[in-house]
Amino acid sequence: MAAKSVFESLTITVEIDCKYGVILEASCTLATEHGRNYVSSLLRGHSLREGIDFPLQLIQTHYRGKATNALIAALKDLYTQFEQTKGLVK
């Protein structure tokens, strides 16, 4: 898959524990299964209630693929959506 295509459509989807904001499972639309599994392992276990600085740092430090900027943008979007909905779920 061309890097341009990855940047246009990359998404991150997560299952979150509503009480603590912890990422229980994460998936993304990277082209390879290995890449998807690696990103999932980087994100799993982090609480979005503590912000996304540390998960962003993990991606920037450990993921060396061409989609790094797209993953960062997707994670920031995910966090924005979490912030908008966290008061709605009890």
pLDDT band at residue 8 using 50, 70 and 90 as cut-offs: low
Asked, for residue 24, whether it belongs to a domain, the answer is yes
Asked, for residue 89, whether it belongs to a domain, the answer is no
Asked, for residue 33, whether it belongs to a domain, the answer is yes
Predicted confidence (pLDDT) per residue in 38-74, tens digit: 999 999 999 999 999 999 999 999 999 889 999 999 9
pTM: 0.83
Neighbours of 81 (CB within 10 A): 12
Asked, for residue 88, whether it belongs to a domain, the answer is no
Burial class (CB within 10 angstroms; exposed 0-12, middle 13-18, buried 19+) of 37: middle
Q: What is the CATH number of the domain that holds 12?
A: 3.30.390
Asked, for residue 90, whether it belongs to a domain, the answer is no
Asked, for residue 87, whether it belongs to a domain, the answer is no
Total count of domains within the chain = 1
Asked, for residue 39, whether it belongs to a domain, the answer is yes
Domain that holds residue 69: 3-81
